[in-house]
Amino acid sequence: MKKNILKKTKFITLLFFFGIAFLANAQTVALPKNTGLPSGTLTSVISNLTNWLLGIFGFLAIISFIISGIMYILAVGDDKAQEKAKKQMRWSIVGVVIGLVGVIIINAVDALLRGVNNKF
């Protein structure tokens, strides 16, 4: 039983090393062309994705800001509803600020990584 396991282990190890030697001698890898995938770099794809997500986040924060303003206008005379609308307004403002700070940080990090000297 032990000899059988030992033989299998040797065989797998031998295949592993031959596979490494084969891959080390491979000159090039043929990549498919015209796949319909975007041709941008990984950094541009990540940058576009983060800008898209921050845009959606900012849009939702502004919608929440508008809704809380409508809630405040409609809550005339009801102190509890006005406090709820004020609290939602504060959180909407925090959301807008976080969205803007996110855009600023992403643009600053992108400029630093590209080596661009932006003077504001």
Which tens digit of pLDDT belongs to each residue from 58-111?
788 889 889 999 999 998 888 999 999 999 999 888 888 888 888 888 778 878
| Domain extent for 107 | 2-114
CA distance 68 to 91: 10
> Is residue 89 situated within a structural domain?
yes
> Is residue 12 situated within a structural domain?
yes
> Is residue 32 situated within a structural domain?
yes
CA distance 30 to 27: 10
pTM for the model: 0.53
Give the count of domains, the chain: 1
C-alpha distance from residue 56 to each of 49, 50, 91, 119 (Å): 11, 10, 17, 28
